[in-house]
Amino acid sequence: MLDNHKFNLINQLSQESKSLWRIEKTYMEDAGDNDENIAIWKEIANEKRKSIELLEKQLSNYIG
pLDDT digits (tens, 9 = 90+) for 1-44: 779 999 999 999 999 999 999 999 999 999 999 999 999 999 99
Confirm if 51 and 16 have CB atoms less than 8 A apart: yes
Closest CA relative to residue 46, chosen from 2, 25, 16: 16
**pLDDT surpasses 70 at 64:** no
62 or 9: which leads in pLDDT: 9
Q: What is the pLDDT of residue 8?
A: 96
* C-alpha to C-alpha distance for 13 and 42, rounded to whole angstroms: 19
Q: What is the pLDDT of residue 58?
A: 96
**pTM assigned to the model:** 0.89
